[in-house]
Structure 1
Amino acid sequence: MDPIQFIEAQRNTIFKTYHELHQLAEPSWKEEKTSRFLQQKLIDAGFTVQTFSGHYGFVANLQGENPEVIALRADMDALVQEVDGVVRPNHSCGHDAHSTMVLMSALSLCKTNIKFKHSVRFIFQPAEEVAGGALKMIEDGALKNVKFLGGVHLRPSFEVQYGKAAPVILHGSTTTIKGVIKGVPAHAARPEEGNNPIEAASLLIQAMKQIKLGSVGRYSIKMTELHSGEASNAIPENARFTFDLRSETNEGMELLIAKAQQTVQKIAELTETKIDTVIEEYSPAAVKNPDAIRLAESAILSILGEENLEVACVSPGAEDFHFYTLKNPHIFATMVGLGCDLTPGLHHPNMKFNQEALVYGTKILTKLLMEADQDNWS
């Protein structure tokens, strides 16, 4: 039995594994039970598992004929959001599905004793939702000797339809600018004695809208939070705000951040306020790798056929998977966009998808590794 046949025979196990992971749902940096569950499945199958101090990420290895590594990555954490009036961890971004597919791909290779020229690594990463897990895994050496890295992400129906897959997801770059405007408090009856930070915030919103970047692709900047004041008859001292920044390219994001910081400084000078800012939650944009995309196309064609191959999936969302190549540009990498009849959308508290996609998604990932093993990644 080859790995693809093995996966087909394990359909019920795939579904059961997904449901078990879905129930575990743990927030970023707290994926203890999820990590333990996945590790045990791999250890029982004969994998060597390497854990790290300070977080629950881990890697599982299959030794090949040479030390150069081809790898798959899965994310493990859930969002914390309100679901039916209760705030709790909730797998509305599909990380439980990603972990299921990468786990079952690993088991399909181990159980069928397929021989690889390259060593094979399965990377299970924490804290994708806070854009910190990939950087931590890089810091801890999870990408040592890795030449090829594949990933997968469920896609909404309006991006990739059920039964189809794209060989690359072109995520944009995203970050936030959080800040505090410090004004001068005063009684509302004597506004001339104060300096209203809310008025400064309103000018800041309008000034940010005027930012123009030129030909760097699509981009946006908009205020998503503004908090100030506690009393109806008093000018507050502070206003706290957040701007969401998005760009189609990393170059565009660098320029957008620079222009936003210049704008903040101008408004502070104009309004005679003090504005302190920090940049948080940065994720880089995807960078196309033609060789990795070619392999993913081949894997999708083999499993789903030419009629179900999408050219690419363009997403305004973000993914910390792209830190792996930003920090290691020599690595050939791509993330497969998996059509799965996902509605109403990622991060929606009631997100759902057709779980049959887990089966063909696992097959695509497994075939991708088999294809990658045939290449010389030097």
Structure 2
Amino acid sequence: MMSSFFPRIPLFLTFLLLLSSHHAVRAEFPSKFLNMAKSPEQFEYMVRIRRTLHENPELGYEEFETSKLIRNELDRMGIPYKSPIAITGVVGYVGTGHPPFVAIRADMDALAMQEAVEWEHKSKVPGRMHACGHDAHVAMLLGAAKMLQENRMDLEGTVLLVFQPAEEGGGGAKKMVEAGILENVDAIFGLHVSTRHPLGAVAANSGPILAGNGFFEAKITGKGGHAAIPQQIIDPVVASSSIIVSLQHLVSRETDPLDSQVVTVGKFQGGRTFNVIPDTVTLGGTFRAFSKENFMQLKHRIEEVIIRQAGVQRCNASVNFLSPFYPATINDAHLDKHFRAVAETMLGDGNIKDLQASMGAEDFAFFAEAIPGYFYFVGMANETEGLLESGHSPYFRVNEAALPYGAALQASLAATYLREHRQGPVPSSHDEL
């Protein structure tokens, strides 16, 4: 028995050494990049970028100055890039120029709303505001780019820096996918700042985390006239009211109660005076589901209900579905394990929060539909800073203390992914694409 036992010791020790080595490799980038991101120089750099972008917000596919700023910064770092992609998009490349390829993404566009926060760096463009944190996302990605470039000799593959236009309803991710930016790319990571989760924490989950989303608009046509003689008219207002009630039944009476779906009418326009019934009414809304099958079934039934209910009230109806449809955002299970390992090493297990799925939508879904993708949220909430309003509010604020966490995580996720998926010997040259 003794002779059969001793030969196993070296093998067991070898296993322990390999396990320890693997853990050390996984821990190397997260600790290093977080320390770099929190350094005064790096933090001040990201704050400056973020505030510059906040003062100069641009809408989807109009991010020309934003794109110029990004290109100028990449030039200063010595990072090659391709631009324009999808009108204003930019894709930078850091690393060997060889496989494996992994991407990290930030969206660039602002919203059409007037900022109500009074501070030194308030938006200088009337009716335009970075009210969803995209200015912070760009600053984080440039911060990650800076750290990756400074450590490019340690990268065992290539990181794509994806600066994407038109996330807010413009389908910018879809256009970038169609432009071929993900060719040969193995995985992509994206993030979003969160006012719901605490500073220093992140939230994510595998599987569906955000719903597929579509918009519809319908025109209901009848015969208008004086409100005092309704018998001589065909009332599109009453017909539209019946349609709205019937649309709600699609969820309450046709959907499995355990399956989340949404149909909401948010637009209703018709008539200008109290005593005249109009010829037409326009209504519109959104529909959302987590599976493509349920989404397409909702689409079919919305059109059917609108046309048939209009007919019951002797009206005609036309339905228009606005494109593009956003697919559900589904996080890859293997990337979930990778994310949790890296984030836990950087932040500690207690700061990794399970994300509850939401009926909101995000066009990162187009990337995650094309290749394995992972989308997570970076916490900003801090009681000492006061309540942070949610995105798309004119009172939205970014807690800039969150910038180092997002930048360090994006850089660490990419660099660690490359090391764990390296293909054969590392090329001797580290010239980027």
Tell me whether the two structures share a fold, i.e. TM-score over 0.5: yes
Instruction: State how far apart, in whole Å, the 1-side matches of 2:280 and 2:257 are.
Output: 37
Amino acid in structure 2 at the alignment position of 1:345: S
Which whole-Å CA distance do the structure 2 matches of 1:240 and 1:259 have between them?
Answer: 18
Q: Which runs of 5+ in 2 are unaligned?
A: 1-28, 118-124, 382-386, 424-433
Asked if the contact 1:131–1:283 (Cα under 8 Å) also holds between the matched residues in 2, the reply is: no
For the Cα contact (< 8 Å) 2:100–2:418, is it kept in 1?
no
Q: Which shows bigger deviation, 161-170 or 282-291?
A: 161-170
Percentage of identical aligned residues:
25
Residue 224 of structure 2 is matched in structure 1 by 185
* 2:331 pairs with 1:291: no
Q: Residues 237-316 of structure 1 correspond to what in structure 2 (within 5 A)?
A: 237-280=279-322, 282-316=325-359
Indicate the structure with greater helix content.
2
Q: Which secondary structure does the structure 2 equivalent of 1:200 belong to?
A: helix
**Normalised TM-score (structure 2):** 0.81
> One-letter code of the match for 2:36?
F
Which deviations, in whole Å up to 9, do the C-alpha atoms of 1:267-311 show, x marking residues without a partner?
Answer: 122122111111125322122311111111122112111111112
Which residue among 360, 365, 374 is the counterpart of 1:322? 365
- Secondary structure of 1:155 counterpart: strand
Instruction: Please state how far the C-alpha of 1:113 moved relative to its aligned partner.
Output: 3.1
Pick the structure with greater CA Rg.
Answer: 2
The match for 1:36 is: 68
Deviations along 1:218-241, whole A, 9 cap, x unmatched?
A: 112121110101233322111011
TM-score, normalised via structure 1 length: 0.92
Tell me the equivalent position of 1:99: 138
1:98-147 deviation line (CA, Å, top 9, x unaligned): 11111110110112333322221101010000141011111211112111
Shift of 1:358: 0.6
Which residue identity is paired with 2:290? Answer: E
* Contact 1:26–1:78 (CA under 8 A) maintained in structure 2: yes
Aligned residue for 1:315, secondary structure, equals coil
Distance in 2 (CA, whole Å) between partners of 1:295 and 1:352 is: 30
CA, structure 1 residues 214+202, in 2 after alignment: closer, same or farther (shift >3 Å)?
A: same
> Is contact 1:131–1:319 with CA below 8 Å preserved after alignment?
no
- 1:10-49 map, 5 Å: 10-49=42-81
Tell me how far apart the structure 2 counterparts of residues 7 and 194 of structure 1 sit (CA, whole Å): 68
In structure 1, what is the Cα distance between the partners aligned to 2:258 and 2:177?
Answer: 29
Aligned to 1:339: 379
Q: Is residue 411 of structure 2 the alignment partner of residue 366 of structure 1?
A: yes
Match of 1:166 among 194, 199, 203: 203
User: In 1, distance between residues paired with 2:145 and 2:231?
Assistant: 68
> What is the CA RMSD across the aligned residues, in angstroms?
2.2
The SS at the match of 2:58 is coil
**Hey, what's the Cα distance between the residues in 1 that align with 2:198 and 2:95?**
36
Distance 2:222 2:84 in 1: 46
For 1:206, which of 245, 248, 252 is the aligned residue? 245
1:73 counterpart (96, 105, 108): 105
Whether the aligned pair in 2 keeps the contact of 1:217 and 1:249 (CA below 8 Å) is no
User: How far does residue 63 in structure 1 lie from its aligned partner after superposition?
Assistant: 4.1
- 1:313 CA displacement: 4.4
Alpha-carbon deviation of 1:356? 0.9
Q: Given that residues 64 and 88 in structure 2 are in contact (C-alpha distance below 8 angstroms), is that contact kept between their aligned partners in structure 1?
A: yes
Alignment correspondent of 1:223: 265
User: Where does the alignment leave 5 or more consecutive residues of structure 1 unmatched?
Assistant: none
Summarize the Cα distance change of 1:68–1:371 in structure 2 as closer, same or farther, 3 Å threshold.
closer
**Compared CA separation, residues 16 and 247, structure 1 to 2 (3 A):** same
Amino acid at match of 2:319: T
State the AA in 2 paired with 1:6: M
Can you list the C-alpha shifts for 1:133-185, whole angstroms capped at 9, x where unaligned?
0111112111121111000001122xx22221024481112222111111112
Q: Distance in 2 between matches of 1:377 and 1:288?
A: 22
